[in-house]
């Protein structure tokens, strides 16, 4: 009997990379690979990378440096770099890191078995093309092993928006949507293996336009069809663009189906001048109108967003406009970053805001966002929510899961197994989670 080879995958960045890492492991399984959680035991190490911010890319090179002793100790070890850094910096990776044996971009990882075989023979294997074939057609059928109660499912890739700060159009390519029939089949398969909640993924997921046998499907139609799958309890999607919040998608949030009352809708800035410089294609007022329509459809929806501070040319007045927009919306969760220039993007050619100014603005913005997040959590105390329990907590009999609003919730629930939905009365709010009591049915 052949001893299986061991694969270690380290994932950086977004949820789509988590999904891609799963599919990479599945693609290599027919070549005899099983996954391990220890790099020291691996025959192949894959770093699935993110290129959104400068530090994320540099972390990859640092990690490659840390892996060099493993390769020195095991000449048969192969190391690969996948994902968006591989796509953007393939030649530089080869020059800077001689220990790397294979480089594969996010649209080519269905070719991993072939690349791994070449690397195993001692050749450098590099593939950063945008192939004509659909990688999802070439990937093997997903294994039938049991799954946890939540899963990611990629439905759309790439972006045509070309925001001035973003590398996604260059690393992931043009917008492309998977056919709805294939998405529905994959979703049913996930549910058959124990999944109760699916998060639909895309760089610009609400630009989804899948080609069905009866014409083009929107994301709203796709979520409605997914809602008909017996056993699937919850649907989420991320990440969205304000310009693609269509009437039918907004209406879907208010129809009481399986679409959860949570939406991540990045705005990046509250200044029209900066939004134009970012090529965001919407104004602050247009964003606020979308928020108003969402809340009219679903009054209890919890909103999340992304913010960039210190974008080239940002003045204190521009920053004040961003704070004003945050005050006007009231976000339940948010993510904020200091502008990071990415080579090849239009904004990278512009003069940067002084680092100390950007740092100060980031601290002030994050303080406001923390206040709003804490207020949103505190407002849950005394309410009943539905929690999808995912795993045991730290205490005997305790379970941890997520509410419909994506808040982490822990409660004493002896006998309850992962994948169970329970009504929970919230009794306390901590820094990053809520505590509650299971309500007897």
Residues annotated within the binding site for [4Fe-4S] cluster are: 14, 50, 84, 159, 163, 166
**Alpha-carbon dihedral of residues 184, 189, 195, 200, nearest 10 degrees?**
-30
Sign of CA dihedral 343, 347, 350, 356: negative
Greatest extent of the chain over all pairs of C-alpha atoms, in Å: 69
| Strand partners of residue 387 | 403, 422
In angstroms, what CA-CA distances link 64 with 10, 102, 117, 164, 329? 11, 13, 21, 30, 42
Binding residues, by number, are 14, 50, 84, 159, 163, 166
Q: Which of 411, 412, 413, 408 is nearest to 433 (CA)?
A: 408
Strands, sheet with 197-201, edge to edge from the N-terminal-most edge strand: 150-154, 197-201, 234-238
């Amino acid at each position: 009997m052949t001893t299986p080879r061991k694969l270690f995958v380290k994932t950086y960045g977004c949820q789509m990379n988590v999904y891609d890492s799963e599919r990479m492991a599945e693609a290599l399984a027919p070549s005899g690979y099983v996954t391990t959680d220890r790099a020291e035991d691996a025959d192949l190490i894959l770093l699935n990378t993110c290129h959104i911010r400068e530090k994320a890319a540099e972390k990859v090179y640092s990690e490659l440096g840390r892996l060099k002793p493993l390769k020195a100790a095991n000449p048969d070890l192969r190391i690969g770099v996948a994902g968006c850094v591989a796509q953007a910096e393939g030649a530089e990776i080869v020059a800077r890191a001689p220990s790397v044996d294979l480089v594969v971009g996010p649209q080519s990882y269905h070719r991993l078995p072939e690349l791994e075989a070449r690397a195993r023979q001692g050749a450098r294997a590099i593939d950063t093309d945008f192939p004509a074939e659909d990688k999802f057609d070439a990937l093997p059928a997903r294994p039938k092993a049991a799954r946890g109660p939540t899963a990611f499912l990629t439905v759309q890739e790439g972006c045509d928006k070309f925001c001035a700060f973003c590398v996604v159009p260059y690393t992931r390519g043009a917008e492309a949507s998977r056919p709805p029939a294939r998405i529905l089949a994959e979703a049913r398969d996930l549910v058959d293996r124990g999944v109760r909640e699916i998060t639909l993924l895309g760089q610009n997921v609400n630009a989804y336009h899948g080609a069905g046998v009866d014409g083009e499907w929107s994301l709203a139609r796709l979520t409605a069809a997914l809602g008909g799958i017996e056993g699937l309890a919850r649907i989420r999607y991320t990440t969205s663009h304000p310009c693609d919040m269509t009437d039918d998608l907004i209406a879907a949030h208010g129809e009481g189906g399986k679409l959860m009352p949570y939406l991540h809708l990045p705005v990046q800035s509250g200044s029209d001048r900066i939004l134009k410089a970012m090529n965001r294609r919407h104004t602050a007022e247009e964003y606020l109108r979308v928020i108003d329509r969402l809340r009219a459809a679903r009054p209890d929806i919890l909103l999340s967003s992304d913010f960039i501070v210190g974008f080239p040319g940002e003045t204190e007045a521009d920053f004040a406009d961003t704070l004003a927009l945050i005050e006007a919306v009231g976000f339940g969760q948010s993510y904020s970053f200091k502008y990071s220039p990415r080579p090849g993007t239009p904004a990278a050619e512009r003069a940067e805001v002084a680092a100390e100014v950007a740092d100060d603005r980031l601290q002030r913005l994050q303080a406001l966002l923390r206040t709003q997040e804490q207020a949103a959590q505190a407002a849950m105390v005394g309410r009943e929510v539905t929690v999808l329990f995912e795993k045991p907590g730290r205490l005997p009999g305790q379970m941890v899961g997520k509410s419909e609003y994506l808040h982490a919730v822990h409660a004493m629930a002896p006998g309850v197994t992962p994948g169970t939905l329970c009504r929970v009365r919230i009794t306390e709010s901590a820094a990053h989670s809520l505590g509650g009591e299971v309500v007897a049915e």
